[in-house]
């Protein structure tokens, strides 16, 4: 059964052990984040990746950082260079690193240093099915997810795909952090409903910070 947390006061919410919702935590930075997003995309344009089974994601993606997440018929993996250009991925801006570290610390994960930021762009109707972030070996590190633009419905479940999910309305500037016992919890985004945001038009953006490999 789903419960919509949007009706609750917009205060930090413990979604599950190790998982924290931080509403509006990045709101003051959203204009600057969007400006930097466009600078990153000038070097590493958005693209629609293909699943190993041959289906294309409805979400457009790119990356910044030392590694970038990739998917095609060869499988899911991280690459140190952009396959489209052969160049290294753009670096993660310093203020993004500070944001990710600060949000992780607020959720109880001090010392978080992400190696990648996966950038997802949702047009109306785009979605992300329930999945686990399990292509990383540094599972002791959390996931830090920042939402920008049009509101989206985030689903957060459990260790099994069939586990009950909670539904959370994410607004621009909202942050979700999960790790520890919830690091491999299934999560996803329902099809994006038409909407408008002054910074992003009809799009929703998601910045997902991850540490891929343990030191």
Question: 63 labelled as ligand-binding?
Answer: no
CA distance 122 to 4: 21
Question: 76 labelled as ligand-binding?
Answer: yes
Read off the tokens for 212. 């891929």
What sign results for the dihedral spanned by CA atoms 39, 135, 49, 78? positive
Question: 4 labelled as ligand-binding?
Answer: no
Question: 178 labelled as ligand-binding?
Answer: no
Read off the tokens for 95. 């203020």
CA distance 174 to 119: 15
Question: 183 labelled as ligand-binding?
Answer: no
Asked whether 188 and 130 are in contact (CB, 8 A), the reply is yes
Question: 133 labelled as ligand-binding?
Answer: yes
- Number of neighbours of residue 139 by Cβ within 10 angstroms: 14
CA distance 117 to 179: 16
Separation in Å, CA 73 to CA 53, 58, 67, 77, 100: 6, 16, 19, 11, 31
Question: 95 labelled as ligand-binding?
Answer: no
Question: 120 labelled as ligand-binding?
Answer: yes
Question: 187 labelled as ligand-binding?
Answer: yes
Question: 139 labelled as ligand-binding?
Answer: no
Question: 109 labelled as ligand-binding?
Answer: no
Question: 210 labelled as ligand-binding?
Answer: yes
Question: 137 labelled as ligand-binding?
Answer: no
Question: 161 labelled as ligand-binding?
Answer: yes
Question: 135 labelled as ligand-binding?
Answer: yes
Closest CA to 30 of 213, 204, 214, 162: 204
Strands (E), 66-126: 68-72, 75-79, 116-122
Question: 208 labelled as ligand-binding?
Answer: yes
Question: 94 labelled as ligand-binding?
Answer: no
Question: 131 labelled as ligand-binding?
Answer: yes
- Binding region: 69, 76-78, 120-122, 131, 133, 135, 161, 187, 204-210
Q: Residue ranges for the binding site for substrate?
A: 69, 76-78, 135, 161
Bind-site residues for Fe cation: 131, 133, 187
Return binding residues for 2-oxoglutarate.
Answer: 120-122, 204-210
């Amino acid at each position: 059964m789903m419960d919509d947390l949007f009706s609750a006061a917009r205060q930090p919410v413990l979604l599950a052990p190790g998982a924290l919702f931080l509403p509006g935590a990045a709101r003051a930075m959203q204009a600057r984040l969007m400006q930097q997003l466009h600078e990153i995309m000038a070097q590493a344009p958005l693209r629609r990746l293909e699943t190993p089974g041959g289906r294309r994601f409805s979400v457009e993606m790119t990356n910044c950082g030392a590694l970038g997440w990739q998917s095609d018929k060869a499988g899911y993996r991280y690459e140190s260079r952009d396959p489209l250009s052969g160049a290294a991925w753009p670096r993660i801006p310093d203020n993004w690193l500070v944001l990710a570290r600060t949000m992780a610390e607020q959720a109880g994960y001090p010392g978080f240093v992400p190696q990648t930021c996966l950038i997802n762009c949702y047009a109306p109707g785009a979605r992300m099915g329930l999945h686990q972030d399990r292509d990383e070996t540094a599972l002791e590190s959390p996931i830090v997810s920042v939402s920008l633009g049009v509101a989206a419905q985030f689903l957060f479940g459990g260790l099994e795909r069939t586990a009950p999910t909670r539904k959370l309305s994410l607004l621009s500037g909202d942050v979700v952090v999960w790790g520890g016992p919830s690091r491999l919890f299934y999560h996803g985004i329902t099809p994006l409903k038409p909407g408008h945001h002054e910074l992003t038009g009809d799009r929703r953006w998601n910045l997902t910070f991850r540490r891929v490999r343990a030191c």
